Amino acid sequence: MSKNSKAYREAAEKIDRDNLYTPLQATKLAKETSSKKQDATVEVAIRLGVDPRKADQMVRGTVNLPHGTGKTARVIVFAVGEKAEAAVAAGADEVGSDDLIEKIQGGFLDFDAAIATPDQMAKVGKIARVLGPRGLMPNPKTGTVTPDVAKAVNEIKGGKINFRVDKQANLHFVIGKASFDETKLAENYGAAIDEIMRAKPSSSKGRYLKKVVVSTTTGPGIQVDPSITRGFAEA
């Protein structure tokens, strides 16, 4: 939906720009203001009160959304032998080692997450400059460097998402599809906020959640009251 289109303007008129909505109100509005021509993705953008330039204020983590994302993630795994076989059995889309690294060096990036066994990380480091900027580099902190690759594949395909603050102190993540019930969207939102609150750096002073906006990929942004950190599915 183009921002200049009549449909977008009509959708934007349903939103009070000066109001801070509850998570449930925001997810309901996101559904109502989304284009009906496609099942749009529902996204959350948060401005955090941290300084990402400081190592002790980096915010990152993972969360298992209780209702999934509405999309089956494409997952690749760097592993060999029995671990590779376990990854294949768990439903990984691509499994390999040197051959998979060469494929990525050749331009292959059609995946949403990458997992590696610890013994493969020295090799995977060769493509860190490719994977890192895209948020795809396996990392022990997000559970994507692990000997239990089957569990990691199942979690990601089941709705596990990663979040990481960017250089401007913003977080972006998905909480589902516009076709989801608003209560399920609010519960997914709540699960993510719980983890983000747990990841708050002890050195972060002042307001941590400075601004929260919910939107669909086809609709206008809706500001959520950042002080609401409990009772996410309540009106």
Q: What is the pLDDT of residue 205?
A: 87
| Nearest alpha-carbon partner for 131 in 143, 144, 148, 118 | 144
Domain boundary, last residue among 121, 139, 157: 157
H-state helical runs in 139-219: 149-157, 182-198
Claim to verify: residue 126 and residue 62 sit in the same structural domain: no
Q: Look up the CATH number of the domain holding residue 209.
A: 3.30.190.20
Q: What is the pLDDT of residue 22?
A: 95
**Is the Cα dihedral 12, 208, 136, 111 positive or negative?**
negative
In a domain, 232, yes or no: no
Number of helices (H) and strands (E) in the chain: give both, helices first: 8, 9
Claim to verify: residue 118 and residue 152 sit in the same structural domain: yes
Whether residue 4 has pLDDT greater than 80: no
**pLDDT tier at 3, thresholds 50, 70, 90:** low
Q: What is the pLDDT of residue 18?
A: 87
Show the 3-state SS of 16-57.
CCCCCECHHHHHHHHHHCCCCCCCCEEEEEEEECCCCCCHHH
| Collapsed DSSP state (helix, strand, coil) of residue 5 | coil
Claim to verify: residue 54 and residue 79 sit in the same structural domain: no
In a domain, 234, yes or no: no
Claim to verify: residue 22 and residue 43 sit in the same structural domain: yes
Structural domain harbouring 98:
75-157
| Overall domain count for the chain | 2
Claim to verify: residue 150 and residue 92 sit in the same structural domain: yes
Distance CA 151, CA 129 (A): 26
pLDDT tens digits, one per residue of 87-104: 999 999 999 999 999 999
Pairing of strands 60-64, 75-78: unpaired
Claim to verify: residue 80 and residue 138 sit in the same structural domain: yes
